[in-house]
Amino acid sequence: MVSMGIFIIQYLLYKKVKIDAAYVVGFCLYFDMFGYFYKLAMPGNALFLLIAVPLIPVVIAWFSKDRKAREILSDGGIWLWFIVLLYGIVSLAWTTYGSAGLSKEAILIIHAIIPGIYAYILYKKYGKFSWKTLALFGLIFALVHLLLGEYSPEYPGRLSLPGSNPILNARMSLITITVCLWRREIPLYIRIITITAATVSALATQSRGPIVAFVIANLIVLVFFIYKRYKHGEFKHLSKYVVISIFILLAGVITASQYSREIDQWVGGSRFGVFFDRAELQGDNNFIGRLDLQRKAIDKWTDHPFFGGGLGSVTPPIARDFPHNVVLEIASEMGVVGLLLWSFAYLYSIWVSRRNGLLLALLFQTLGTALISGDFGFNFEYVLISIVALALIPNNKRVGEESHAQGIISNYKF
């Protein structure tokens, strides 16, 4: 292993390879796929790969002469996330005995913070981030999920990679769809193929929360940017677009009506029936159970409003399950102080990304899933995307007029 590492270092230095930071993000976002293949060959925990695999090129970039990678040390957004993590560790001093608070934070660090820092360093050094690369990672993930996934007794009727969770698999495929929807520079045939595969993958999981978050997030950002363009006079023929949209909507309704019986049968036999039947929603065990967990989290927050009950105090093994709402989880475990610190870190990335449709959509979508069916540790995507946004949009581009960041970031692109 050591000799292999030395060989890789020598090759990268000799060839002066410019590494695309999207490879790190793709590897970490779709890690369940890589972990699955790793465990087929070497049974055991594969999480160390998240730290080990990208480490060599990151070390090379960090110690390079131009020191561009060290801009991360002066990025206020990065420090905000470190403060959140630090407060989480401090809160362990008053958490419930036997909590898994430290494990939750370690999971978040391994899945999001370290990969995000890796991507930041590589992008600052080489200036390369290809959304096409990320889309291809997503396409491969969707195909692996569809071809090798299984319907386990734990999740009946819901396709997931062996040893994985259908909700996580859905989140990843829906991220893939969002990337393809917003990045027009990705070749059209790749976008069509990838969106098709990822859509089938996401629906096969029958995961309702991630789909709701995906739809709402993309609609919000789409309406926002349409309004901004219209306000700036860029939509001189807005009525034409309205007519086209109405035509597409009517065509969809007519097509759906032709297959209404088949659609009704499919929806009725799936978990998506709650979207159309309020009584079914109110009787859904998941819905009822999560409301109970969230009430208990609110009670904990009421008992410890300012500093919280401590990291891990309302989640397993102390509680039977997570509250399935990351804001409630943070509020109850870290109080108003922790919630404010977390809000500052997340909203700073939102503000930084305010002129980029894709980053905004991803930030809203990934947080949305964490609000509907997420937790502090395993819903890591919004933190990873937050750090990636800080990397892609330099400090000198975060204020002032609309601008471009080395051809990667485009304003109002959708």
Cα 207 from Cα 166, distance rounded (Å): 7
Pick left, alpha or beta for residue 262 (phi over 0 → left; psi -120 to 50 → alpha; otherwise beta).
alpha
Q: Taken in order 119, 409, 379, 375, is the CA torsion positive or negative?
A: positive
Q: 3-class DSSP state for residue 403?
A: coil
Other CB atoms within a 10 A radius of the CB of residue 42 amount to: 8
Residue with token string 């420090």: 79
Per-residue pLDDT at 211 = 93
More confident of the two residues 275 and 2: 275
pLDDT band, residue 26 (cuts 50/70/90): very high
| Under 8 Å between Cβ of 116 and 383 | yes
Q: Which long-range contacts (CB under 8 A, 24 or more apart) does 72-77 make?
A: 72/117, 72/120, 72/121, 72/124, 74/395, 75/120, 75/390, 75/395, 76/348, 77/345, 77/348, 77/349, 77/352, 77/386, 77/387, 77/390
Evaluate if residue 377 carries a pLDDT over 60: yes
| Under 8 Å between Cβ of 23 and 133 | yes
Cα 218 from Cα 206, distance rounded (Å): 20
Cα 114 from Cα 110, distance rounded (Å): 6
Per-residue pLDDT at 228 = 79
Q: Residue 96: name the closest of 311, 313, 303, 304 by CA.
A: 313
Evaluate if residue 171 carries a pLDDT over 80: yes
Mean pLDDT taken over the chain: 84
Q: Name the phi and psi angles at 289, rounded to 5.
A: -65, -40
More confident of the two residues 17 and 72: 72
Helix (H) or strand (E) holding 261: helix 260-268
The single-letter DSSP state of residue 151 is E
The single-letter DSSP state of residue 409 is B
Cα 105 from Cα 111, distance rounded (Å): 10
Per-residue pLDDT at 407 = 37
Cα 29 from Cα 27, distance rounded (Å): 6
pLDDT band, residue 121 (cuts 50/70/90): very high
| Under 8 Å between Cβ of 75 and 390 | yes
Per-residue pLDDT at 402 = 40
Per-residue pLDDT at 167 = 92
Q: Residue 131: name the closest of 245, 14, 279, 29 by CA.
A: 29
Per-residue pLDDT at 271 = 65
Q: Taken in order 347, 352, 355, 361, is the CA torsion positive or negative?
A: negative
Evaluate if residue 106 carries a pLDDT over 70: yes
| Under 8 Å between Cβ of 49 and 111 | no
Q: Is 11 exposed, middle or buried (0-12, 13-18, 19+ CB in 10 A)?
A: exposed
Q: 3-class DSSP state for residue 150?
A: strand
Pick left, alpha or beta for residue 363 (phi over 0 → left; psi -120 to 50 → alpha; otherwise beta).
alpha
pLDDT band, residue 316 (cuts 50/70/90): confident
187-237 residue pLDDT tens: 999 999 999 999 999 999 998 889 999 999 999 998 888 877 777 766 666
Residue with token string 């995906």: 214
Q: 3-class DSSP state for residue 160?
A: strand
Q: Which long-range contacts (CB under 8 A, 24 or more apart) does 286-295 make?
A: 289/321, 290/323, 290/324, 290/325, 290/373, 293/319, 293/320, 293/321, 293/322, 293/323, 293/324, 294/323, 294/324, 294/325, 294/328
Percent of the chain having pLDDT more than 70?
80
Rounded to the nearest 10°, the torsion over CA 391, 217, 213, 321 is 50
The single-letter DSSP state of residue 109 is I
Which segments within 62-161 are labelled E, that is strand? 150-151, 159-160
More confident of the two residues 249 and 144: 144
